Amino acid sequence: MPQREVKPTRSELLEIKKRIKLTKSGYKILKMKRDGLILEFFKILEQAKVVREKVTKNYETAMEKIAVADAVDGVIAVKSAAYALKTKPEIQLRSKNIMGLVVPEIEANSIRTPMDQRGYGVVGTSVYIDEAAKAFEDLVESVIEAAEIETTMKKLLDEIEKTKRRVNALEFKVIPELQEAEAFIRLRLEEMERENTFRLKRVKQKAKA
């Protein structure tokens, strides 16, 4: 708050004192929120690392298996088996609350299809195609898991950044400015008091004379 905008009055001083108290309590709460969010984030980070590794591992396995299936059965056989599938994974998005932050909870069903319901003939295709299909089902499952955890992480990180910025603004800008304004009013009031005392003395002296 620039000093020229501050009126050096007692009511303004009381108002600023009240604002400083409120700002400090807000600052404390925001600081606690930031620390809480960081703790939550650390919990998620471990899960995210594990899931990311799982996705990469499953992806490598799946690509290896499909390459074998392509080589043994031919690209056309793999393609026709892929296009014969009838079921598809369905996901439901729900939400949960972490310190006022809404994060998604993804629930998936029918990712795994039994071999006899895959839509292609069991006799007409080789075991390599089945293995590739199973490997990709594993991959889809881990991708859905990663989606939930990574979204939570992205949201948490955004919220941490936002809260951090607010805490810093209060700590380094708002509170110091209010304190400065308070000090300015105090000084100005003291100065006015001194001037008044001096004026009264002068009036008294003149009255005596």
Q: Which residues in this chain contact another protein in the complex, by CB under 8 A?
A: 38, 41, 45, 48-49, 55-56, 59, 62-63, 66, 70, 78-79, 81-83, 85, 87-93, 104, 106, 108, 110-111, 113, 129, 132-133, 135-137, 139-140, 143-144, 146-148, 150-151, 153-155, 157-158, 160-161, 164
Minimum gap (Å) between residue 69 Cβ and another protein = 8
CB of 1 closer than 8 Å to CB of 178: yes
Minimum gap (Å) between residue 152 Cβ and another protein = 10
> Which residue's CB is nearer to another protein, number 78 or number 178?
78
> Which residue's CB is nearer to another protein, number 9 or number 74?
74
> Which residue's CB is nearer to another protein, number 70 or number 180?
70
66, burial (CB in 10 Å: exposed 0-12, middle 13-18, buried 19+): buried
CB neighbourhood size of 91 (10 A): 13
> Which residue's CB is nearer to another protein, number 26 or number 89?
89
Minimum gap (Å) between residue 28 Cβ and another protein = 21
> Which residue's CB is nearer to another protein, number 1 or number 144?
144
Tell me the torsion sign for CA atoms 124, 127, 129, 133: positive
Minimum gap (Å) between residue 42 Cβ and another protein = 8
Amino acid, single-letter form, for residue 2:
P
CB of 61 closer than 8 Å to CB of 142: no
CB of 63 closer than 8 Å to CB of 131: no
Give the SS3 label for residue 101.
Answer: strand
Minimum gap (Å) between residue 195 Cβ and another protein = 51
Give the SS3 label for residue 110.
Answer: coil
CB of 189 closer than 8 Å to CB of 49: no
Instruction: Output the CA angle 51-144-33, nearest 5 degrees.
Output: 65
Minimum gap (Å) between residue 122 Cβ and another protein = 15
> Which residue's CB is nearer to another protein, number 169 or number 192?
169
- DSSP H or E stretch at residue 109: strand 101-109
Amino acid, single-letter form, for residue 181:
A
